[in-house]
Amino acid sequence: MSLELLLPVEELAVAHTVLQSDLSLGKNIKIHSKQDGLPDLKNVQIAILGITEGRGAVDNIGTGKGLDIVRKYIYQMFPGNWHMNVADLGNVPNGKDIGDSYFVIQEIIGELLEKNIIPVIIGGSQDITYAGYRAYDRLKKPVNIVSVDNRFDLGEMNPKLNSHNYLHYIVMDKPNNMFNFSNIGFQTFFNSQEEIDLMDKLYFDAYRLGQVTNDITSVEPVLRDADIVSIDMGAVRISDAPANNNAVPNGFFGDQICAISRYAGISNKVSSFGIYEFNPKFDQRENTAHLIAQMVWYFIEGVNLRIEEYPLESVKSYKKYIVLVEDQTINFYKSNKSERWWMEIHYHHNNSDKSTLIPCTYHDYLTANNQIIPERWLKTFRKLN
């Protein structure tokens, strides 16, 4: 069992729980401690996983440390009206070289996925996303990745895999199980025009920071369609999250990144969630550590608010709207439970006609009514055909 390799939670963080209320989160989750060992994972649905590997960080040496500070703030918060059980499994040990670390992380995340446990990853550099993606190889199904970052991280495959080129490895390495990649919050001046053009050529989705901050709800359908959500703390403005050597003046506010975390949790499809590039060396009054703890809280809150729904399961559970756009008929579905929207794509594959649903917004429905095919529908249609 790869889980047996995990190191217990830092004793300082465990000791901090003694001072907390019996109603606090630290007193109501299972903790992998030196004294009690690895907890029983029966009936556990969410597992916090610390990553101390930071050798792949670009210009952010020190990431992967200070996880006890993050945990301190997680443990002192109070749970919501949650029905799911949470465990903190401690930290993944670093390998002799970074490749060993990737392998161990891949195995541990893969084992949690097979147990239907959602890993919530804190710490480490964002190239750990690659190891998390490879963990899905054992599931043998297409994977959608959403990155919240001001950069695409396409980079070059030379030098070695790092936090600024991990997406290039995901795209190029075999087996290639990624169906779609979406970026939320990119800033144009941090990405070359060649990278922007390549994103479009690959039919990947990219949403500029200004576009998202004008309407934070617009990213809900993007996260609803994700399997992996990877957040680079550099996407948050330096005033709200200074603990990153690559932090910049513009970015998401703290409440916005928490809203994004909550949307990720609400998604029935998201099965792993990671927050990377925290570097305590640059933190001020532990501000970033506290924000990460709140992001974790909002993600768990979202998971507890999940509604099992899929528009085609029951005619009574949705309303269907048929829109003719140019030569295409697009069916839209609106849930009676959550009022969320989907749109249907008909395509031809292996000599047969098929259809699939992708999440969308009410705005996409209005766009279709104005005789414009929604961009997400068009990109997905092109990928499938």
Answer with the residue of higher pLDDT: 362 or 156.
362
Residue 298 near residue 258 (C-beta atoms within 8 A): yes
DSSP for residue 34: T
Pairing assessment for the beta strands 205-208 and 44-51 based on DSSP bridges: unpaired
Using the predicted structure, report yes or no on whether residue 184 has a pLDDT greater than 80: yes
- Please write down the HEC assignment for all residues of 146-185: EEECCCCCCCCCCCCCCCCCHHHHHHHCCCCCEEEEEEEE
Residue 81: count of CB within 10 angstroms of its CB: 7
pLDDT in tens, 56-76: 999 999 999 999 999 999 999
Q: What is the mean pLDDT of the chain?
A: 95
Task: Kindly list the structural domains of the chain, giving each domain's residue range(s) and its CATH number in brackets, ordered by start.
Answer: 2-304 (3.40.800.10), 315-384 (no CATH)
Confidence (pLDDT) at 89: 98
SS3 (DSSP) at 351:
coil
Q: How confident is the model over 81-118, as pLDDT tens digits?
A: 999 999 999 999 999 999 999 999 999 999 999 999 99
- 202-221 pLDDT, tens per residue? 999 999 999 999 999 999 99
Work out the pLDDT band at 197, boundaries 50, 70, 90. Answer: very high
Only one residue has tokens 């997400």, namely 376
